[in-house]
Each structure stands twice: as structure tokens, then as C-alpha cells.
Chains A and B, each alone.
Chain A
């Protein structure tokens, strides 16, 4: 593990511990009040979810066309984190929606598109786990299609949901430049980098173990 890992982990822990206080001190949102505060975890998670999916897609493309095992490990780790941060988005979203507008699920375009992206990430993990030999390439192919699909999913879901008239209006998430928001983003970004590094490290250990087993056969 690189030298920066432990100190940054400590920093991350401290930042997350401090985050509730910083969030509590942020401006109160007019219509939703306290409930809106979950947004400070929801939005960064959504961004990191997207970032993780992009990392997975690019690493998959590089693995598929260059064959670099490093990229494969990175893609696998990123896919797992996509599932993790996607889960956070898909839990915090409905919690917020429930309290703010009375319904758990609203077929909101962003939430629905995220759900589809999340399913693709799950499919990636299932293929890796149950696909047998060669499943690393299959998963990489899936990741590429998942990434290419993003605009189509968004557009089709967006136009699809206008057929279902929303009973309440879901506001566009306010991108106010408050300190609380950017602090949370920093927290989640740091967490993402650390988890990614940790997970890639695990895969590297696994690869090293495989190589040792192989050399035993010599």
C-alpha cells in the first residue's frame, strides 16, 4: 500500500465525523427543512456513482483492447464501487422522497436512470462471479455497452416518464455553492479513492497469489 493511504484514511474518517456538524450548520432550505439535509449525502453519492461507472467503462475499454490486467483489476474494483455508491443513492433518494413528498418511488428520471445503471453494474459482478473462465472479457464488453447506453437510457426514461404525470413536482437539485455541499463532495471523493485503491490492492494480491501458484508448478 502506498504511503499516502493510512494518513488519508485518517483524514477521511475525521472529515466524515465532522460532516454532520458542517451539514447541520448549513442554510436551512425553505420548503423542506431538515429533511433536505440528506441531499448533502445523496448528491455526492450520485456524482461518485457516475464517476465510478465511467472509471469502470474506460478501464474495461482499455482492458478489452490492450489486454492489460491492471486495467481489468481497476474495472472490477470500480464496478463494485459503482454498486456500493449506487446503493447509497438509491437508498437516500427514496428516503428523501418519502419524507419530502410522501412517496417512496417517483419514476424520477435521474433515479430511474441510476437504477438501470446500477443493474448493469450488478450484472457485471454476476458475470465476473458466475461466468467461468474468460468472464473478465465478457464483463468488460458489458461495461462498454453500459457506458454507451447512458444517453439513451436518460433520454428514453425522461420522455417515458412525461407520459406518467408526476403527482408531485420533483425539484431540480439546487446546485448551491455552499460549503457544506463541497465538503461532502470532498468526503465522498476521498472515500472513493481510498476504497478503490484498497480494492485494487486486493485484486493485485490475488493476482500475485495466482502467479505464485503458477510458479509452484515450474
Chain B
């Protein structure tokens, strides 16, 4: 049974570790063909929210709903619809790009693993380096492979945690174009980043987080940097 859904909803989601509150009562909704940005400084809780959305962690309070399905009732079938690109890339440096992609394609049930891997390499523009070990790649190249790995099973929900880290301009532009293409295909994209310049003009909706709290939500934000400063500079935001 494969699960598909039209939207992801977070309802009053909180997560704490002992005494430390990582997230406090976060609520939002993201639908198909939409890019939602989680913005905030380091330690705001963006990575935690991504992990919660990926079902790698369970919320301490509140609920995350995928369509009508709740995260704690469905396991493997829900994971088939989720793709995550973490900060740590999730690639085996000893294996080649092709081997990494073939492995994950097989593991994630992407049909014909070798074909999917070849197609992904084409997408990433790395067909000529396919048989080189990932360990020899630059950060940008690794990022491209990692993105393809995250998308190889064509998930409905795409989660990206700081995907622009260490990318040069060309790679960043390529990533932005890719995300726009995903949106056009109807995916739900949640993007956590503190790189405001790159996210500018890309987001359909932005959630501003600080110290685990939701400071503001802005639909169709523009001039992100000034909006961000204005919101974060408000009194009462400690």
C-alpha cells in the first residue's frame, strides 16, 4: 500500500529533550505544488522540524498529518512518499556515485535500480563522473548526487535541510531550478535554510522560527532579508 497525500499539516507540534525545548507549538500547512521555507538562525529548531516531518523523530506534543494519515500510525508505506536531503548528505564516500544511487534506488523501491540511477546521474549532470568515488567529489557535486538520492523514489514530500551550504553560485542556481521543477510537478517541498538570498523569490510561504518558537508566517514573501530582519528584530522575540 503506497500512501499519497495532498498536504502536510503540523498541529501544535512541540518537541523537547529533557529540559530543553527544541520546538514549541508549531503549526503550518503545506500543500502540493508549494515550497515552504523554514527560516531562522542556528538553533532555531529547523533541523528538528525536518526530522519530525521525516518521521525520524516523534513529536512530544501535537500532531503531524500527511493528508489524513497520522505519522505514528503508518511506517514503511509513509516513508515511501518522503524524501530527505540532510545536512550530512547521507552518501557512502567509499562508493561511486553510480553505486550509491543504485543502492538507494533499490532500497527505496524505485523500480529498476540501475535505470533509475543512470537517469538520476543524467539529471545531476554527473554522468561522466559516475564511476568515481564520492569521496573525491567537491561539496557541490556531492550535493547534486545527494539530491538525486533524496528524489530517486519520486517522493511526494521533499525535505531539505540547509541544502545551499557550501555551494557555489552555479550549483546553487541549479538547485533552485530543480526545486522549481519539483514544485511544478506537484511535490510538497519544505526547505530549511538560513541562506536568505538564495531563498528569495523561491518560497511560496515562509515560517520564521526562533528558539523553537514560530515567530511569524508570511505567504509569498519577497525581499526576504528585510522581512527577516523586521520580524526577528521585533521586541518580545528573545
Contacts and interface: CB of A to CB of B under 8 A. Distances in A.
Interface of A: 133, 210, 213-214, 217-218
A145 to B, nearest CB: 24
Interface string B19-48: 101001000000000000000000000000
Contact of A217 (B17, B18, B24): B24
B19 A133 contact: no
Contacts of B212: 217
A133 B24 contact: no
Given A133-B18, A210-B19, A217-B211, 8 more contacts: A133-B17, A210-B18, A214-B16, A214-B19, A214-B21, A217-B21, A217-B24, A217-B212
Give the top 7 A-B pairs by smallest Cβ distance, nearest first. A213-B19, A217-B21, A210-B19, A133-B17, A214-B21, A214-B16, A210-B18
Which range contains the number of B residues in contact with the other chain? under 10
A206 to B, nearest CB: 10
Q: Which of A133, A210, A217 is most buried by chain B, counting CB atoms within 10 A of its CB?
A: A217
A217 B17 CA distance: 13
13 contacts: A133-B17, A133-B18, A210-B18, A210-B19, A213-B19, A214-B16, A214-B19, A214-B21, A217-B21, A217-B24, A217-B211, A217-B212, A218-B24
Contacts of A217: 21, 24, 211-212
Interface in B144-171: none
A218 B212 CA distance: 10
Nearest to B18: A210
B209 to A, nearest CB: 14
Contacts of A214: 16, 19, 21
Contacts of B24: 217-218
Contacts of B17: 133
Contacts of B16: 214
